[in-house]
Amino acid sequence: MDSHTYPVTRTDAEWRARLTPEQYAVMRNHGTERPGSCALLHEKRAGTFSCVGCDQPLFESKLKFESGTGWPSFNDPVPGSVETTVDRSYGMVRTECHCARCGSHLGHVFEDGPPPTGLRYCINGVALKFEPAA
C-alpha cells in the first residue's frame, strides 16, 4: 500500500483476519480475481455495493452495467468514496481505483464506458459486498 493515511487503518494481521485469502490478495496486494468468477457480476437488484474492508458505500446499482469484461462495471462511484492513482505495473499505465476510507485496491477505471460519464470502473467483485435496497 502507499504511504497515504486513511480514516480506517488495520494491521496486516487484522486485515488477514477480516478478509478471505482471495480478498486479501486483491484488496491489500493489488491482485485481480479471475474474470467471471464473482456472483456479484450478475447482481441486478436495486441496492448499494460497499467495500468489504470497511463498509464504505462505493457504487449504486443504478450505475452498474454489463461491460462484457467479466468484472462488475460501473459508470461512477458514490461521490467521495473512491480515489485513484496511476498504476504502472505490468508494463502499462492504468488508473487504479481504491477505497477512499481504507485504501483497499478495488480495480481500475477506463475511459471506454457508456454515457453519461464515458467511464468504466472495472471492479473486483471480491472487494464488494451488496446490500439490497429496502
Q: What are 58-107's pLDDT values in tens digits?
A: 999 999 999 999 999 999 999 999 999 998 887 888 999 999 999 999 99
Q: Which cell is 10 given? A: 488495520
pLDDT per residue as tens digits for the range 16-56: 999 999 999 999 999 999 999 998 999 999 999 999 999 99
| pLDDT tens digits, 56-71 | 999 999 999 999 999 9
Domains and CATH numbers, the chain: 12-132 (2.170.150.20)
DSSP state of 41: G
| Whether 99 is catalytic | no
| Residues in CB range of 35: below 8 A, 6 or more apart | 69, 70, 71
What is the model's pTM? 0.93
Catalytic residue among 51, 99, 102, 122: 122
